[in-house]
Structure formats: C-alpha cells, structure tokens
Amino acid sequence: MEMLTFFLILYGAYVATKLVLAVLQMRFIRAERQKPAQILGQGQWEKAADYAIAKERMGVYAAGVETALFVFWAFWGFGWLDATLAIESAMFKAIVFVNLFLFINYLIELPLSIYERFGIDARFGFNRATPGLFARDQLKTLALVAIFGSLVIAALAWFVGSFASWWLIAFVFLMVVIVLINMLFPTIRALMFDKFVPIDQTEIGQEIGSLMARTGFKASGVFSVDASKRDARLNAYFGGLGRTKRVVLYDTLIEKLSKEELLAVLGHELGHFKHKDILKNMAVMAGMLFAFLALFGNLGEGFFAALGVESSAHILIALFLLLSGPLFFFLMPIFNAISRHNEFAADRFGGDLVSREALKNALIKLVQENVKFPKNHPLYGLFYETHPGVLTRIERLEAERA
C-alpha cells in the first residue's frame, strides 16, 4: 500500500475511533447518572457526571478542529508554507518552518483551551487561575518550546541532511533529550511556574522522610507546591531523575488529606519506584519512538511527491509531529494496560507499607475532592484509563487485606 494512503486511513480510523469512544462514554455516563451514587453523594455524583460529559463534548469539538488542521496541512498547508519560506539554509528553514507549524496549530486550538479553563473548569469550580496567570503561563510555555524546540529541530535537521540513517542517530539524540527533560523538569517548573516550599522540617515532612528511608529511596527533598493558584484539585508527584529527584505535594493535597492518608499516597508512589515503573515506561516509550522513527526514516520519494513537496528535514519533522499522535493512539490500549497493572502493584505496596485502610480512604477523598466520575464505559477505559477505576482499586485493597 502507498504510504500516504496508509497515513490517511490511519488518521481516518483515529478520528472515527475517538468519536465513537466519546459517544459511547457520554451515553454510558448519562445512564449511570440516573443510578444510585457510589462513593460520592448524590449531588456530587451528578455533578461529576455532568463534568465528565462536558469534557467529552469538548473533546468532540477538539477532534473536529484537529481533523481540520490535519486536512489543511496534508493537502495544502505543507506545500504552501514550504513555498512561502524562501530560506536557503536547510537548518534555518527547518527551525522557522516547524516553529510556524506549531504556532499556527497552537493559535487555532487556543480558543478551545480558553473555553476548557474559563468555560467548563470555571463553571464546575475547578479553575482558580486568573486570565493574567493563564496568559503568563501560555507565553512562558511558548517561549520554552520556541527556545528548546529550536535547538532540537536544528540538531534533527543536521542529522537528516548529513546521514543516510539519520533516524538511528535521531533516536539516540531524542532519548538523551527525554532524559534531560525529565532531569530538568523540577528545576524549570521552580524557575518559571511554581513556588516550591521545602517541607522536610515539618512533622509530615519528617514522616515522609522516614518512610522513604525505610524503603531505601533517596530524594533531594520533599516540597509543597502552590498548585492552588491554578486549580482546586489535588495531586502529588515524584519529579526529576537522579540528583534532581524530589517529592512534590500539591498544597491542596496537604490541606485535604489526613497525615496517614498522605503517607499512604506516598507509599503508593514509592511502590512505583521500588518496581522501577518509571524506567520500564521509558523503555516502552523508547521502543515506540524507535519504531516511529524507523517508519519516518524510510519513506520513499513518492510519498513526498504526493504531498507536493520534496523530501526534507522540515517536512519530516512536521510530519512526525502531525502523525505520531494518531500512531500512538492505537498503542494506548497496550500502554495503559501495562500502566493499570503497575498501579495495582503500587497500591499493594503502598497499602502494605502504610495501611490499606488509609490508602482506600485517600483514594475515596481524591475522587470526592476532584469530583471525578468513578466509572467509564469499558471500551473507553481500554483506551484512556491509565489508572484502574477507583471502585476496582478499592475492591482489590479490601479483598487482599490479610
């Protein structure tokens, strides 16, 4: 089969699957909304259902915009932008071309992001960001992408122009970039977006410290982050790699969970570390990236002719950005099945380390505070659930109790 035909069919299947899943999910939640509430109070149950439906509807609009952009780029946009930019240097052309490609997509999708934040999230009481903060965040992100993105584009353009097997070199290079981003992530967040306050010396910080010592985990500190200035919802994460590794608790989480519940959540996260889930995820990602790059590294001349352009670095990079999403989409069920398996294992670890009861209560509180609808249509779950449904997780925690 012609490669271009393959990509068109792939994209069609991607959009169709997304729409079918959205419709199934909306119908499922509308039906569940009528049933007696679980975990949540009846009012919260209905609110959570309404929120989930509103987000799904917004996802349908987003899929429409995405498809329009795809059609634009594939049938017209690449040729147009290619002809418009009269730049001699292949590297410089790649930088300008790909940045413009990203910026045009960003501008077209911006009204949807604004609607999501200040329309839906605000209506349900989640949004706490002012338009000023939102605008500053957007500008900073754009600046970061433009600066670091351009460096990556320049390197990729050089590989494409200099080596026949550029995709192999690009693979090694991108893996290094991914590791660097993971290492620098907490530092960049601290410098540009968030205020991290060390809580090592507080009572809860001390307890977290001794919990980590017990599991042999080394981090550069425990921090509270002022997430409440953007969003009312709760969360926690381990960020960084190697020496930049740190435990980050949202201020909203510290406020709402009891000490034992917080420790249980931490215990779950430590489970991910004990099981080396982050490394395993990176290995799976590496495999996928390798396969995608091999595909893009072996497109024939005819493919580019059909697009109305010549084979070149800037087209290759933009195509990769345009098509890696749809390619990844069909691998999501595999990726998420692994992730759900890891979540159960981390629950077991955290429950045994701290207390199954506390972890169960923490999971319930997270659903209540985040007004998250606790059920999904099975097919929707197959594609999108990175974590098992909270009802199943609680069931397991109770069943496995010794």
User: Is 342 exposed, middle or buried (CB count within 10 Å of its CB: 0-12, 13-18, 19+)?
Assistant: buried
Q: Name which of 18 and 356 has its Cβ closer to Zn ion.
A: 356
Q: Name which of 297 and 388 has its Cβ closer to Zn ion.
A: 388
Q: Name which of 257 and 346 has its Cβ closer to Zn ion.
A: 346
What residue spans of 115-130 are helical by DSSP H? 122-123
User: Cβ 280 to Zn ion, closest distance in Å?
Assistant: 13
196 SS3 class = strand
Can you read off the two tokens belonging to residue 224?
């509270």
User: Cβ 381 to Zn ion, closest distance in Å?
Assistant: 16
37 SS3 class = coil
User: Cβ 180 to Zn ion, closest distance in Å?
Assistant: 24
- Which 188-217 residues touch Zn ion, going by CB under 5 A? none
Q: Name which of 21 and 247 has its Cβ closer to Zn ion.
A: 247
Q: Which helix (H) or strand (E) holds 234?
A: none
User: Cβ 345 to Zn ion, closest distance in Å?
Assistant: 9
Q: Name which of 173 and 237 has its Cβ closer to Zn ion.
A: 237
User: Is 347 exposed, middle or buried (CB count within 10 Å of its CB: 0-12, 13-18, 19+)?
Assistant: buried
User: Cβ 386 to Zn ion, closest distance in Å?
Assistant: 9
Alpha carbon distance 79, 319 (integer Å) = 12
**Among 382, 399, 401, 379, which residue's Cα sits nearest to residue 391?**
399
**Among 142, 68, 64, 135, which residue's Cα sits nearest to residue 100?**
142
Backbone angles phi, psi at 343, to 5 degrees: -65, -40
Q: Name which of 238 and 383 has its Cβ closer to Zn ion.
A: 238
User: Cβ 268 to Zn ion, closest distance in Å?
Assistant: 6
Can you read off the two tokens belonging to residue 303?
């493919």
Q: Name which of 230 and 348 has its Cβ closer to Zn ion.
A: 348
Non-local CB neighbours of 254 within 8 Å, separated by 6+ positions: 199, 204, 224, 262
Alpha carbon distance 301, 299 (integer Å) = 7
Q: Name which of 8 and 282 has its Cβ closer to Zn ion.
A: 282
| Per-residue x/- track, 66-105, Zn ion (CB under 5 A) | ----------------------------------------
Q: Name which of 194 and 343 has its Cβ closer to Zn ion.
A: 343
- Which 317-376 residues touch Zn ion, going by CB under 5 A? 343, 346
* Number of shown-chain residues binding Zn ion (CB under 5 A): 2
Q: Name which of 318 and 346 has its Cβ closer to Zn ion.
A: 346
**Among 106, 101, 92, which residue's Cα sits nearest to residue 153?**
92
User: Cβ 23 to Zn ion, closest distance in Å?
Assistant: 29
User: Cβ 359 to Zn ion, closest distance in Å?
Assistant: 11
User: Cβ 342 to Zn ion, closest distance in Å?
Assistant: 7
DSSP single-letter state for residue 165: T
Chain-centroid distance, C-alpha 58: 17
- Which 298-317 residues touch Zn ion, going by CB under 5 A? none
User: Cβ 235 to Zn ion, closest distance in Å?
Assistant: 11
Q: Which long-range contacts (CB under 8 A, 24 or more apart) does 219-223 make?
A: 219/245, 219/246, 219/247, 220/244, 220/245, 220/246, 221/246, 221/247, 222/198, 222/246, 222/247, 222/249, 223/196, 223/197, 223/198, 223/199, 223/247, 223/248, 223/249
The contact set with Zn ion (CB under 5 A) reads: 343, 346
